[in-house]
Structure 1
């Protein structure tokens, strides 16, 4: 018996097959594109995502290891916040605005003003922010329904309209304590609850495969998956009270598990949602992540992997604020912008490359401090995603963060989705009983740089509020669609 996981990411789609012990048998990936049709607008083509999904699933199904161990179920890891308006036939009416799309800025501000930002966060577990799906739906008042990307693709494959609790929370319209769509949020946003899907627990069977995919049997169980950060947490070995997972991808995110909902998050950008009885996940990070690294690599030219592998051997006297698509979680400011300070005529690309890597370590340090103030212990930190595959890059981040980072170099999000498929089949008793991934030795902070990075982290913390007035002057008019 093997299990399939389909990771619907912001920049591409990946499928993996794992055996019952969670070991990867085969994997395949396809890139997808983002369109920017106007200021503040960023969209993904759902038909391109569907075609890429069918291609990678067929490629994995044709692998000899999978032919010898046929798949028994399929589940999903889903980029957060992307939302799809659909017609009565369940087909998309338009491209899907993704997380970094800012068309919902005005509506999010109006809802927060009407209900109170604290009330919004108490109900939904998420801060009031235009990234969330509910604030982007006003453009399609006649749509028959609204879907997030995972339940949309699952529906095209044969599932009923159903969304898991983590993705429901990432719409910004779900009451995480009551376990229902929030009538208060929906009324304030002008959204009809009847157009939203049923909410189910991650790992719930929601249908059977009816679309023909070479190598996959008709009737293959389709299982509700989870938000990609939740899937990465499960696939990367996260366990409440024991280990957390930091995902270095298009965006960077630290995900920490607790046995119950943390109660002191209102007023911060920290987000939380339920994954089932006895497990809540709290998320913090920066939306820029790999996007900022890619921007820098394109700006200076050369191969991105080689560029960061050849980063300066010593900490530079340069500081990067990586808020290229808004601030990190704690400040929760969509109008914040990136900055580089400390430049002089001797600054080279190697120093800047290291400073970009360090910036995400400083963000982790800032987040861990905030969690500690709320008695949330991340435990051991496992690192997953593309940024965890480079020992050198991860070592730089570990030193800047002041914490050991343990690399898990498997495809954590897709692996987590595949393991949720096993939960749907009853193969694992719960998400706390999933097989652990293979992990490498931890990268520990360099003691020779401890004092420097502690001081640099303080400068990093102080830089955002210093620049905020200037950010406003650059962004308040440009962000309007």
Structure 2
């Protein structure tokens, strides 16, 4: 038996073919372009990016690993919002997740309209740049002709499911992140959130691992997959990535080391916290508590480009720097920050720079800063009643041991690092195998561990305390600087 998973990312998409034992038979990656027509806007063309990526990847996978396919699942960035008309034609490019901050005024208006207590109790979240409702309101206000023609709204995987099967489906996890349209405990649509959206057809809700249709003849021609191949509902990339490494029991917590850092913990009951995201789980019996930093690996890439050095050189130099980077502390808010401070006008800041510090200090301080950000988010989860029981690391940042080791040292907690770190596409294939009746409990065993070094705990405790104190002390200055930056671009800083 063979299963295919495809994940639609921000700057590239990846696919994988996996057999019934969980072995990877083939992979393929396709880069694509994210459009930013205005500062704070991030968009994808649903057909030229999403559909083209999926069809290209599927054909490449089938060429590299020909043979029957027993199930397909697709995940993707989310929540993303695609509007289509009565004939299901996209009306505009899809608006991406929390990195798109155009709807700040609509967010503030809807938070005031519904009220914090009601939102946390019913939806599970206050509205932020992740929220779908304010983005729909932005389109209504700024592109009224397009909004008037809108009949359906899609997520990234939902659009691909539509193109593959003809089904109009949204998985429960994606729906629970489409604030304020979904009621968390009821696991269904929240009627007050749909006020003013009555003419829109609501998608059928399904769990990520449910089969919702089969490949149509038209989709078979476009992808090379046989007609009748089962297709799952799919889900958001972070949930698929968590499942790729076996995070399924309450307390299991994924740390995703990528361009951004994403944290998702499986919980048995809803966890509402104003500094986190609450969602349902992969199945009807679980929920999720999630957090996300706006930048992590993006800063290491920026630093490598800014210094003209490769990662290997920077890593080698960082290894020679002691814990605490000789008194250098970074606030890693290079693109604002999401959880737990939700401040799009936050800015990065190195504190403690001296003439003694070099590239290795800068690089190590970046890795430490991500550790402090993770610790901040895990503390918020614990305060809400969701204390992590097991940490599992995944993503490109785990290829070298230094970053995971630093994060474990900062947290004082061990991390499991699995043998397969392909990511969300592997989780998609794993869900497809589950749907076909394959027992996947033995897939992707732990390959190694990052264990905290007690000798450096004291220095990281001191620095973490300063990390928490420094943002409030600098926030007003950051906001002034963000406004000056925006003026230089001829825009207004998000508030």
TM-score for the superposition, normalised by structure 1: 0.91
Q: Decide which of 438, 449, 464 is 1:442's aligned counterpart.
A: 449
Q: Is 1:295 equivalent to 2:307 in the alignment?
A: no
Distance 1:307 1:193 in 2: 55
Asked if 2 retains the 8 angstrom alpha-carbon contact of 1:72 and 1:221, the reply is: yes
Superposition RMSD on alpha carbons, in Å? 2.2
Q: CA deviation at 1:38?
A: 0.9
Q: CA deviation at 1:207?
A: 1.9
Q: Decide which of 255, 258, 272 is 1:246's aligned counterpart.
A: 255
Q: CA deviation at 1:400?
A: 2.3
Q: CA deviation at 1:78?
A: 1.7
Q: Decide which of 188, 192, 202 is 1:184's aligned counterpart.
A: 192
Distance 1:423 1:82 in 2: 26
Asked if 2 retains the 8 angstrom alpha-carbon contact of 1:81 and 1:98, the reply is: yes
Q: CA deviation at 1:434?
A: 4.2
Distance 1:74 1:309 in 2: 41
The equivalent of 2:88 in structure 1 is 90
| Secondary structure of residue in 2 paired with 1:456 | helix
Q: CA deviation at 1:217?
A: 0.9
Shift in CA distance, 305/136, structure 1 to aligned 2, threshold 3 Å: farther
Q: CA deviation at 1:306?
A: 4.7
| Secondary structure of residue in 1 paired with 2:36 | strand
Q: CA deviation at 1:223?
A: 0.6
Q: Is 1:171 equivalent to 2:178 in the alignment?
A: yes
Q: CA deviation at 1:213?
A: 4.2
Q: CA deviation at 1:2?
A: 0.9
Asked if 1 retains the 8 angstrom alpha-carbon contact of 2:405 and 2:450, the reply is: yes
| Secondary structure of residue in 2 paired with 1:102 | coil
Asked if 1 retains the 8 angstrom alpha-carbon contact of 2:251 and 2:386, the reply is: no
Q: Decide which of 63, 66, 70 is 1:72's aligned counterpart.
A: 70
Alignment length (residue pairs): 470
Asked if 2 retains the 8 angstrom alpha-carbon contact of 1:225 and 1:421, the reply is: no
The equivalent of 2:227 in structure 1 is 218
Q: Decide which of 389, 392, 396 is 2:399's aligned counterpart.
A: 389
Q: List runs of 5+ in structure 2 lacking aligned partners.
A: 140-145, 487-491
The equivalent of 2:16 in structure 1 is 16
The equivalent of 1:52 in structure 2 is 53
Asked if 1 retains the 8 angstrom alpha-carbon contact of 2:275 and 2:380, the reply is: no
Q: Report matched runs for 1:356-435 at 5 Å.
A: 356-408=366-418, 409-427=420-438, 434-435=441-442
Q: List runs of 5+ in structure 1 lacking aligned partners.
A: none
Shift in CA distance, 179/447, structure 1 to aligned 2, threshold 3 Å: closer
Q: Is 1:7 equivalent to 2:18 in the alignment?
A: no
Distance 1:20 1:335 in 2: 47
Q: Does 25-34 or 133-142 show the bigger shift?
A: 133-142
Shift in CA distance, 181/308, structure 1 to aligned 2, threshold 3 Å: farther
TM-score for the superposition, normalised by structure 2: 0.89
Q: Does 414-423 or 355-364 show the bigger shift?
A: 414-423
The equivalent of 1:479 in structure 2 is 493
The equivalent of 2:133 in structure 1 is 134
Shift in CA distance, 105/72, structure 1 to aligned 2, threshold 3 Å: same
Distance 2:235 2:379 in 1: 27
Q: CA deviation at 1:164?
A: 0.4
